[in-house]
Amino acid sequence: MLTQYVLTNAKPREKDYKLSDGDGLYLLVKANGSKLWRTRPVKAALLAAIGLTLSQDGQTGSDRCHACT
């Protein structure tokens, strides 16, 4: 599970990268500094990532995920 410390200190790199929060939920940190929550559906037929929301208030991905279900 990602912590507030990890979310706050996730800095942009030369290429986009992912920080996993478990169960298919991850934070995508883009090279331009954007942070986007994404989820990868569990079913094999649904391979495309679905965007959830930007993290402006620092909630962890699990908090956001539980609020959506």
Q: Which fold has domain 4-68?
A: Double Stranded RNA Binding Domain (3.30.160)
- Spell out the alpha helix ranges (H) of the chain: 4-8, 61-68
> For the chain, what are the domain ranges?
4-68
How many whole angstroms separate alpha carbon 57 and alpha carbon 15? 24
pLDDT of residue 52: 53
Q: Please give the mean pLDDT across all residues of the chain.
A: 74
pLDDT at 8 > cutoff 80: yes
Cα(41)–Cα(37) distance, integer angstroms = 13
Residue 59 CB contacts under 8 Å (≥ 6 apart), including other chains: none
User: Residue 48's pLDDT is what?
Assistant: 54
- How many beta carbons lie within 10 A of that of residue 47, not counting itself? 8
